[in-house]
A and B are shown apart, each in its own frame.
Chain A
Amino acid sequence: METMKQKKALVLMLTTVMLSSMLAACSGNKDNNGNASPSASPSAPASGSASASASPADEPVTISYWHIYTDGPMKDLTDQLLKDFHDQHPNITVEQLGVNFFDYWTKLSTAMAAGSGPDLALNDTSTVPSRAKTGAILSTDDFIQQDGVNLGDYFPVLVDLMKYEGKMYGMPNDTDVRVLYYNKKMFTDAGLDPNKPPANWDELEQYADKLTKWNDKKMLDVIGFSPALGNLHLWTLAWANGGGFWDDEGKPTFNKPENLEALQWEKKIQDKYGVKAMSAFNSQASALGFSPFIAGKAAMIVDVNNLYQEIKTRAPDLEFGVAPIPYTKTPASWSAGFDLELVNNKDDKRAAAAWELMKYLTSADVQVKIHEASGSLVSNMKAAQDPKFMEDPNWKMIVDQMQYSRFIEYIEAMPSWHGNLDPVEQAVLNSGKDPKEFLDGAQKNAENAVANFNKTK
């Protein structure tokens, strides 16, 4: 009897907890909707952006700035930049906090959810609307106009991402882009023209066949090209094939024929190597601790522009070239990036000071220094396309891809839709699953996610 009672008490407890958490979730959604309705202008951002004019110049103010630079050259540069900033603005004291990339998001999201975030935060460019909508961050429109910041100096694709309902919410800081790296020496050795990288999928396949080297044990010495290596994802290839995963109305189109073609093509290439040889290759490659392209184990690879920086430090003598990702219908690449945002702490003075720092960090001179320290693709085109950087044909090629590069669509019903696609791609490439079946499954999941989300509205 005693245990029965205890059990009942336990069940009661759990039910109460679950119910109350559900209620909390529901009420949260209602709030969001209230804000989103077109008639009601988002109230919190409005109060913040109005403050632009009321920013007395010399009153002392202390602001906090959170970022991800905890080690290496970017940490040193950040310290130096903040010192320089303080010299220029003696009244503004900046308390900086660097948290490493992997933990930063926990720290920032917890603090912002509780309304105790920093005044200026480095954040994820592709999810700006989620914070702009709830009023967690402030519009920078008035500041931009007041100080005459020319948005034309920044990569257009990045500026577009910062906009929500026509207003700017922060400034883009830096981004990245994926390109094809190819080993020129291997091209020459295989009788290919080292100045003619593959431009389309057929060429990519033919070149890969010529460049691949098998040894006596039927294992891979060199892989010509593998979609499983580097940083090529299904969505990038699908975009290059005229495909896409969401239509203009926000409906999923995961099993579009163009997407299926891309996945089938990937599978065709990957099947040439076979699961056994590939997994042997992978276990060797992962032991390297750096890209197989640098080790001369892959003749061509699609990877982020940071690989270029790594090649410069690890293998300065490597003869290689950089080219656009081969495409069938539309040139395409994938970018992700960081922006700077004014967190809504309901303090106009601190917001104005944080804007000063944001303006400083995204100015051309400072962004040149950031590129020099980290090699990253900075958002200010004046800095990224500085003549002294553009002399390098590889860097120029990387920067030029920005006109074709896309970001992951921000889908409120399914913010991590692209993360769900990677396992699908893996399963098809490594376990020999049927591409169509898997894309149909992904489509169904996406449809369900959207339907469930619509129910909560």
Chain B
Amino acid sequence: MALKSDTILHRIVVYALLLLGSAAFILPLVWLLSTSLKGDTGLFEIPPKWVPDPFHWDNYKKAVHSFPFLRYTWNTVLITVLCMIGSMLSSSFVAYAFARLRWPGRDAWFVVMLATMMLPGQVTMIPLFILFKELGWINTYLPLIVPFFFGSAFYIFLMRQFFMTIPKELSEAAKIDGCTELYTWWRIFMPLSKPALATLGIFTFTLVWNDFQGPLIYLNDTNKFTLMLGLRSFQQQYGTRWNVMMAASLLVMLPTLALFFSFQRYFIEGVTLTGVKG
């Protein structure tokens, strides 16, 4: 009897804490929704009103018409999908070499690769920009997409750690059956690494979808802009249309939200993958 009431108490405390935690995390989202429905005058009311009166649904109309919303959505989707394909293919490919192939200097090169993670983006910004300019890639999507087809240190690291956990026997068996390394990577390692690949894909998605600086410096033609650039257009030197901006932000966030709920499992796994296996 005593035991049972203990567990009930335990549960109550746990759920209360969880509820509190979720409330803290959902609050900004609710505030975003609330602001996106407010009129121009009710924005900074004290005490703040959570439920706007009346609902200004026209903010959403204004948001969609303030910049070419569909066009920017298409641009962003195009870039994001290509980047996801690129990073999944290239990072796992390189990771396979680091995890399973034996070649001279492999470990040293691994360290060199990890060291590139230490370079802050600001340091490489101008040299990279000049490089892409010499290639004639300014005002195209190439500087935003192509780098993802050459792997990135963190993703390679992530994939390598995952590949290391796959039993050697599997690849050895494949080799005995006459499987080439390329084939082993594609037919055995890739299908076995779906959770890691999904993590990688989701990371790339959020990174590219939310990327602001890349499109800002490389794109000059407003028709080629991405959603993030569109969002910022509401911010002006003397004042911002917060309500319209929040409405647009919510629309831009929807795909991320949808992705999160459908792949929640992988998000969590991603955290444990990156957290424990380092």
- In the complex, whether A152 has a CB less than 8 A from a CB of chain B is no
Name which of B6-14, B111-119, B190-198 contacts chain A: B111-119
- In the complex, whether A114 has a CB less than 8 A from a CB of chain B is yes
Instruction: State which of B112, B234, B236 has its C-beta within 8 Å of the C-beta of A9.
Output: B112
- In the complex, whether B213 has a CB less than 8 A from a CB of chain A is yes
Q: Give Cα A332–Cα B125 distance, bound, in whole angstroms.
A: 41
* CB <8 Å contact, A71 and B133: no
Q: Hey, which chain B residues are within 8 Å of A10, CB to CB? A: 111, 115
- Chain B: interface size category: 35 or more
Instruction: With A71-B234, A71-B241 as known contacts, state yes or no: A106 contacts B111, CB within 8 Å.
Output: no
Q: Which residues 1-31 in A have Cβ within 8 Å of B in the complex?
A: 2, 5-6, 9-10, 13-14, 17, 21
* CB <8 Å contact, A6 and B107: yes
- In the complex, whether A98 has a CB less than 8 A from a CB of chain B is yes
* CB <8 Å contact, A116 and B133: yes
- In the complex, whether B262 has a CB less than 8 A from a CB of chain A is no
Instruction: State which of A2, A97, A290 has its C-beta within 8 Å of the C-beta of B220.
Output: A97
Minimal beta-carbon separation of A297 from chain B (angstroms): 12
The 8 A CB mask of B115-127 against A (1 = contact, 0 = none) is 1001100010110
Q: Give Cα A150–Cα B107 distance, bound, in whole angstroms.
A: 69
Q: Give Cα A17–Cα B216 distance, bound, in whole angstroms.
A: 26
* CB <8 Å contact, B233 and A71: yes
* CB <8 Å contact, B216 and A114: no
* CB <8 Å contact, B130 and A114: yes
Instruction: With A6-B107, A106-B217, A289-B43 as known contacts, state yes or no: A13 contacts B112, CB within 8 Å.
Output: yes
- In the complex, whether B232 has a CB less than 8 A from a CB of chain A is yes
* CB <8 Å contact, A9 and B111: yes
- In the complex, whether B237 has a CB less than 8 A from a CB of chain A is yes
Q: Hey, which chain A residues are within 8 Å of B107, CB to CB? A: 2, 6
Q: Which residues 318-356 in A have Cβ within 8 Å of B in the complex?
A: none
Closest to A117 in B: B220
The 8 A CB mask of A251-269 against B (1 = contact, 0 = none) is 0000000000000000000
The 8 A CB mask of A90-116 against B (1 = contact, 0 = none) is 000001011111110011001101111
* CB <8 Å contact, B216 and A5: no
Q: Give Cα A103–Cα B119 distance, bound, in whole angstroms.
A: 23
Minimal beta-carbon separation of B206 from chain A (angstroms): 20
Q: Hey, which chain B residues are within 8 Å of A287, CB to CB? A: 44, 46
* CB <8 Å contact, A99 and B235: no
Q: Hey, which chain B residues are within 8 Å of A115, CB to CB? A: 133
Closest to A306 in B: B238
- In the complex, whether A77 has a CB less than 8 A from a CB of chain B is no
- In the complex, whether A195 has a CB less than 8 A from a CB of chain B is no
- In the complex, whether B221 has a CB less than 8 A from a CB of chain A is yes
Q: Hey, which chain A residues are within 8 Å of B66, CB to CB? A: 71
Closest to A97 in B: B220
22 contacts across the A-B interface (CB closer than 8 A): A2-B107, A5-B108, A10-B111, A14-B118, A17-B123, A70-B232, A95-B220, A95-B221, A99-B216, A101-B235, A101-B236, A101-B237, A102-B237, A106-B213, A107-B216, A107-B217, A110-B126, A110-B129, A111-B220, A114-B126, A115-B133, A116-B133
What 4 new A-B contacts, CB under 8 Å, besides A99-B216, A113-B126?
A: A71-B236, A100-B236, A102-B232, A114-B129
